[in-house]
Chain A
Amino acid sequence: MTKTIDKNFSMPKCFNERSKPSLYCPGCGQSIFLKHLGFIIDDLEIQGKTTLGIDIGCSLLAWNFFNFDIVQTHHGRSVPVAVGYKLSNKRRIVMSIMGDGGGYAIGLQSLLHAAFRNNPISVFVLNNTGYSMTGGQMAPTSIPGEITTTSPSGKDPKNSGKAFHGPELIKQISDNSAYIARASVSNPIMLQKMIKKTLENQIKNNSFSFLEVLTPCPTNWKTTASESFNFLSKMEKEFPIGEMTKNEK
């Protein structure tokens, strides 16, 4: 059973306190995700066995977020670094965290091939429907009609495609033993459960494990707290939350 947030601790034990308060904007879904990830790492007692590769995108802000080894890579390249590291150090639990631009645009080739080869790493793609670090450009995940700095009249699916569904694509080419799911920071209990499975599937089944997490970016969405959650609900309609196993009907 997944323990939910331990009320005695406002911060996960594996956090690097010196890096707090973190550089993430107030209300950022990415820092909410990182906090839940921290609690699960505490819960599984794997702080001493974990290595994290981060991307360039807002995930780069996590370069010293936890008290375990972290390497900041390039935009879209945290997956091949994680693949090479895991191949060389099979006992470590290896994670990669990146944005949807890193995962589904510049780094898609490596993400798909890691899934296709069933490399035993845990990959987290944080979907905020845009390129946040660079100031809110359109991403493959932007929803039709969404206004961004590079789709000022709203994303036109005729030119730019609809909203990119990562886990659904990865499911097509991954091994039956892979874990593939989508969570949202709006539902922390389910999010924690899925983070746990994304790590456990690497540990127990030695298989590729993938979680997309829907995360608000109030800064680039230019939303208040309640507007952020309204847009997150809209995202949840576009990107259904849940686990995608190979054998489901």
Chain B
Amino acid sequence: MEKLSYITGNEAAVLGAIEGDAESFFGYPITPATEILEGWIRKAEENKNLNYLQTEDEIAAGFAVIGALLAGKKAFTATAGIGHVLMQDPISMAENERLPFVGIIAQRGGPSTGTVIYSQQELNLASYGGNGDGLRIVYSASSVSEVYYLSQKVFSIAWKYRFPTFLLTDGYLAKQRVNTKLEKYLKPFPSSKILREMKDKPTHLRNCYGSEIEFANILKRNIADYKSLINKVAESESYKASDSKYLIIAHGSVASAAKDSVDILRNSNVKAGLLRPITIRPLDSRNIRRLALKAEKVFIIESAFEQFARMIIFKVPEIANKTVKIYKPAEGFTPDEIASLVNEKI
């Protein structure tokens, strides 16, 4: 029998980050992400190779992460909600200077202080929150064991491709304590010093340019690099989707409920299936397109007001007329609920 650990999503994030060779953490308390800060500090007290600072705010946390990245450390932060809003200042610097910034975002209800519990409303912010074009990599975990796995993987992806990389969870995932499979990510990518400390060839990093043409060339190169990683990074999981007439597209916790709804629907002879993007940025458009075009009807279900639906339909506009958009901003879905919502519309 495989060994399981009885842990929470936030504990899985800390354990995963350590397994992924993270060395530094900077953060500011905010529910439901706080236990990542607390858990990291407990680990750092046992292991002197790990360091941390509880900063004065999220802006400083993010910029201190950047300082640590420049020194070649796999560094990260964890935040949520309005803290995630403040974090956009350092993230936009990371986006500009191509720094391997890593953030774990435990989504809570918004706008503003909203609720401290749950939502999927930080999708746009994580994906496109800066004052640039959203050249970021964003994962969405749908189980505690996936939180563990992806918390390792985000560091390797960030350092390999040099784009800010995020893992989205939510308060339900972060706080639930479940038996969890701890699967190792087998392709770790090393970090290296970004400020290289060479006297003859100093590193001069800037984010401010005097000429539109010079900056445009840098942005063009960044966009080309981003496009070339899409096929390597984009991933999705499908469940009973290949022969499905009714395709549900959902991510994160909603997808995990939707998986059970597929079984409920199949038991009553409704040919339902699930497509779950694991990366939100970039989306696995090929798989989405392949399955969505085949289906008679598509259901995009999310705990936000059409944030996810807009992203999907932008990639596969042909499905707009056969798509039912189901949304409950900052509220969760049960499997029975999704099954009956689908049943109502078919």
Contact = CB atoms under 8 A, between A and B. Distances in A.
Contacts of A74: 63, 89-90, 93, 207
Residue with the highest number of chain B CB atoms closer than 10 Å, among A47, A51, A56, A87:
A87
B214 interface: no
Interface stretch (B11-19, B51-59, B103-111, B117-125): B51-59
A155 interface: no
Given A60-B208, A74-B93, A113-B56, A16 B202 contact: yes
Where chain B touches its partner, the secondary structure class is mixed
A67 B202 contact: yes
Given A63-B206, A69-B196, A69-B202, A109 B57 contact: yes
Interface stretch (B69-77, B256-264, B276-284): B69-77
A56 B146 CA distance: 40
Nearest to B207: A72
B56 A109 contact: yes
Contacts of A70: 202-205
B4 interface: no
A110 interface: yes
A135 to B, nearest CB: 16
Contacts of B72: 88-89
A67 B70 contact: no
A68 B204 CA distance: 8
A112 B57 CA distance: 12
B89 to A, nearest CB: 6
Interface residues of A, number: 34
A96 B62 CA distance: 17
Contact of A77 (B23, B53, B90, B200): B90
B68 A88 contact: yes
Contacts of B90: 74, 77
Residue with the highest number of chain A CB atoms closer than 10 Å, among B64, B75, B93:
B64
Contacts of A83: 53, 60, 64, 67
A87 B64 contact: yes
Interface of B: 23-24, 26, 51, 53, 55-57, 59-68, 70-73, 75, 89-90, 93, 97, 195-197, 199-200, 202-208
6 contacts: A51-B195, A63-B204, A69-B202, A82-B67, A87-B64, A88-B67
A-B pairs with the 4 shortest C-beta distances?
Answer: A84-B67, A84-B64, A85-B67, A80-B63
